[in-house]
Each structure stands twice: as C-alpha cells, then as structure tokens.
Structure 1
Amino acid sequence: MNELGAALRAWRDRVDPATVGLVGGTARRVAGLRRGELAMLAGISVEYVARLEQGRAATPSSQVCSCLARALRLSTEEEAHLMRLAGFAAAPARIPTLVPRSLWCVVDQLGHTPLAVYDAAWRLLHANPLFTAVFGDPADADDRNAMIVQFESRNHRVRQTDAERAYFEQSLVADLRATSARYPHDPDVAALVSRLTGNERFRRLWAQREVAAHESAHKTAVHPDMGAICLDANVLTTQDTDLRLVVLTPRAGTDAREKLDRLG
C-alpha cells in the first residue's frame, strides 16, 4: 500500500454510510464505506478501487480523483492533497524559509502584538520582542520547531486544557500532512515526521490522515510576573512562500490587552 492507497482507505473508513444515502441492509463489518459502495458512488469499478488502495494501479486521472473526492466527501484541502498524491502538482524540492520584504513590512507594523513567523513545517524563523516576552526566549527552548516542542517537551509558559491540546495537536498534524504532500522530497520534512512518529499521540493522529490548514487556536500564556494571559492565535499563510504568520490577539473579556501593554 502506498500513500495514495492509505489515504483512500482512511477516508473511506471515516464516511458514515447514512450521510451518502446508504441505510439499512445487512450488518456491516466496516465502520465506513465498503469498497463496492465507494466504487458505485465514484462511478468506477470495485477492482479499480482495490488496486488503488493496494498501490497496484496506475496513477488515477484528475477526473477519477474528482469523482473519488466527491464520493468521499473530502474538504477542499483534502481534495488538493489527493491531487498532489496522484501527481497533478509540481513538488518543490524544499520548503521556503526566506521571509519576503512584504512580510517584514507587516511584522514591523504589529509591534504591539505578539507574533511569530514559521515555515511550512512549523520551524520558528522569527519572533518579535513581545512574543519573546510572553512565551520566553526561543533560544532557551529545546527546539525551534513548534511541533517538536508540543509533542516532546512543551513550553512551560503555555497552559492548555485537555480539549485545547487535543484540538491544537490534531490541527497541527493535519497541517503537517498537507505539507508533507506539497514537499515530498524535502529531507527535513521527512526527518521531522520520522522523529515525531516516536510519539504515541502524534502517531495516532498521523494515522488518521486528516488534511487541513491550521488556522487558529486558543492559548493561555503563564508569565512569571503577569500571570495568565489569554490569547487567540490566528494563523495567516503567505502566498507562494507558504510561511505562517502567527498573530496572537487578546481574548475578549480578559485583561490580556492590559498585560500585553505593560510587557510592551
């Protein structure tokens, strides 16, 4: 089974038959769609579905990919991921790490807000002084990659509820899954995935093969002098360079703005 086949199988398993009009009948041995049901919904043969999932078929056409995406109820990001796995997008050799002048201009105008710039694999490229004041100096961290920090060491200044952690980690892993398909030849991305698969939480989420952009999260920073600072993290992905600008804004109804002003 190759990556395309594994993705198709995972997506097939998660589809509730009732949502696509398949109800009643005999007892089901699988939680999601049967191969025959996916074949019927996509307008292709059962044998072809089997060969695709087993990695024995030639690369499907873009039309077949579109039919599979509709049948599997894929999101826009997941359909794009399917197209990339089928070879319908040129893959850059390495993820971009150069921050363009246009982004520096935005960063310079947001000095009153904690912000950071990451590459597509969540390696920290830049943190402004207020971000450092809130979350600590990145130079003191065990690693500059946010995913390694989250799954292996944790930032002691970040407090998460169980629900916040579950959402945050699921969203990060889905985002990395998309990155791994956009940059399949980048050795650093492959090394990151290989390292993180040693973590049980990451391994479980990675096996789900969810694909989505990480766009937002709630964060509570615990500052040694200011105490809890409740923030909303908003992630803006830059065009072409695929960098992530993370802007942390004060959560409404809290005293976070006052504390940020004092730190600034």
Structure 2
Amino acid sequence: MNGVDGSHIGGVDGVDGVGDAQRALGGFLRARRGRVAPEQVGLAGGRRRRVRGLRREELAQLAGISVDYYVRLEQGRATQPSAEVLDALAGALGLDAAERKHLDTLACAKRDPVPRAEVSPLLQRMLDSLDHFPVFVTDHRMDVVAWNALGAELIGGEPGLPGSRDQNNARYLFLDPASRAVHPDWEARAAEAVGQLRVAAGRYPDDAELSALINELSAHSADFRRIWATGEVVMCAAGRKRLRHPEAGLLTLDFETLHVPAAPGETGLVVHVFSAEEGSEEASALARLASLASSAGPATAVRDVPIPV
C-alpha cells in the first residue's frame, strides 16, 4: 500500500522508516504536509492538484528553506537539520508540542537503548493498594505488563489467561474485532495507539520487537496503515474514555497516566489509572466490578516480562 506522496507503508520492506531514523524523518514530513490543506496557509487549492496537502516546494517556501534541501530531508540525504530549520518546518506544518518533540527525536537520529523496564515489588504494591481504581501498566510497546484486580476486570480478564484479550493493546485494537464493541470511540483509541507506537519507534529504532509489532499490524490491518500514513503522534496524558463492559454496561471514566522511568531519561512504564466522579453511576458500577474482582480471588498481577540484553 502507498501512503502520502507514494511512501511505502507495510510489506516486506517495513513501515515507512521504522528502524531507520532518516527514512522515518522523511516519512513523518511527507505525512504531515499531506495533512495541511493549501487553503489553510493562504495557497490556492482546487481539484486539479495531484498532491494531497502541500507540495514539497510549497512547504519549503513556507519554511524559508531551499527546495533542494527540503527534498534531501525527505529522502534521508540531509542529516541533523538545525533547530532553526526544525522550528520553521514545525511552524509551517502547524505541529503541536508532542509532534514538535517527535520531529526533534527523528532529526537528531539518537539511538536510545531499548528500556529495561521491570515491574518492581514496590510498584505492584502501589497498584494493589489502589483497589477502588482500575489500574494497569503498559510498556513502550503497549504490552500490558502489570495490573490490579479491578484493572484486570476492566480490560477483560487477566492478560495471558485463557479467554482474556490479547496482551498488547495495539494488537487487540487492530486485530480483534471485539475491540470495536468495547470501545465506542474506536477511531480515537486507534489513533492514540498508532501515535504512541510512532513515538516509541522514533525513540527506539533498534527495538526489533517493536518493529516486528508495527510491521505485523501494517500487514494485517488496513486501518492501521491508513492511520499510520497520517503521521499521527500522541503522548500519553489524561482525559476521559468510554468503555463497554459486559457486566457494567457503558462506562465513561476519567483517566490519568503516570510515567515510571526505567532509568534516568528513559521512558519505561506507563501506569493507567481510571476513576469516576464520586456519586456517579460510573462510581457505583466500579464498586460492583470491584466486588466481582475480589470474589474472583487474587489476581496474578505481573507476567514474566523478558528483559532486553
């Protein structure tokens, strides 16, 4: 399948620069200029345009750089662009803070070591103490690596046990049809997953497991390929999500994400904490789910996480 401007998405050659920082930078720039309508920046549009979004020369002009240099950036032939060039490109493309940071990551071509994320006994004790809140923990590949009893109940059972959903959140969203019933706002959740994987792939281009996951999703999901081609970038934050539970029905829950570094300066684990406003129907539903979770017995809270060497 071809993405914006003919960039290759999926297939045996891999997904648009995953594992190759220079190709990833070019792919990201192509995707993002494909999202900018000419009319947004005062240029003439019209049906005769053969390129979706901005042309290369138009973006170069808006950013105040030469067309030749911009073309070399997209083709991976120009390395380490200056902060001034990146600022100009970010401004022309209308990048937000998360997208700008991702652009910096790709441009510096720094190969961060794959995080050696472990679930410590202290972290697990904290999860278990939050027995009134559904909590689960993911790594940078979006694998669920730890949870408390209520968290397991919310996400469909203890990961890894018979009958539970796939342990990887992205694989579950894109390859399990049941995810669309669980997530009424599936498109938004899918975009978040793609955006988070893109950030991780930019930071850890040497992570073979992550690259294999992204290529697997690209090979088997047209929706993944479609969203990846937009250049979506998402950093875990806070907000509100809707989930449909077989016992509790449709729940609208607040969530917060807490980051546990694997080492100083590294993104290690992400703790996802869900809650409901006191006195709300959702709070009552969570209380019922907590009762169900406790009656089911203690959860095996941590899977055996292989540590990269």
Q: Judge same fold: TM > 0.5, yes or no.
A: yes
Please report the TM-score for the alignment, with normalisation by the length of structure 2: 0.74
How far apart, in 2, do the equivalents of 1:214 and 1:151 lie?
19
Residue from 150, 169, 177 that aligns with 2:173? 150
Residue from 104, 111, 119 that aligns with 1:91? 111
Task: Measure how far apart 1:23 and its partner are.
Answer: 4.5
Identify the residue that residue 86 of structure 2 maps to in structure 1.
65
8 Å CA contact 2:218–2:225 kept in 1: the answer is yes
Q: Does 1:206 align with 2:232?
A: no
AA in 1 matched with 2:272: V
AA in 2 matched with 1:98: E
8 Å CA contact 2:56–2:67 kept in 1: the answer is yes
AA in 2 matched with 1:62: A
How far apart, in 2, do the equivalents of 1:196 and 1:233 lie?
28
User: What residue ranges of structure 2 are gaps of 5+ in the alignment?
Assistant: 1-6, 8-22, 291-309
Q: Does 1:122 align with 2:148?
A: no
Higher RCO (C-alpha 8 Å, min separation 6): 2
8 Å CA contact 2:124–2:146 kept in 1: the answer is no
Aligned positions, number: 259
Identity value in percent = 35
Q: Report the aligned-residue RMSD.
A: 2.8
AA in 2 matched with 1:209: G
What aligned pairs does 1:35-74 form with structure 2 within 5 A after superposition?
Answer: 35-74=56-95
How far apart, in 2, do the equivalents of 1:67 and 1:100 lie?
43
Task: Measure how far apart 1:262 and its partner are.
Answer: 2.7
Return 95-104 or 146-155, whichever deviates more: 95-104
8 Å CA contact 1:231–1:249 kept in 2: the answer is no
Task: Measure how far apart 1:81 and its partner are.
Answer: 1.2
Please report the TM-score for the alignment, with normalisation by the length of structure 1: 0.85
Task: Measure how far apart 1:250 and its partner are.
Answer: 2.9
User: What residue ranges of structure 1 are gaps of 5+ in the alignment?
Assistant: none
What aligned pairs does 1:131-142 form with structure 2 within 5 A after superposition?
Answer: 131-134=151-154, 135-138=156-159, 139-140=161-162, 141=164
The SS at the match of 1:10 is helix
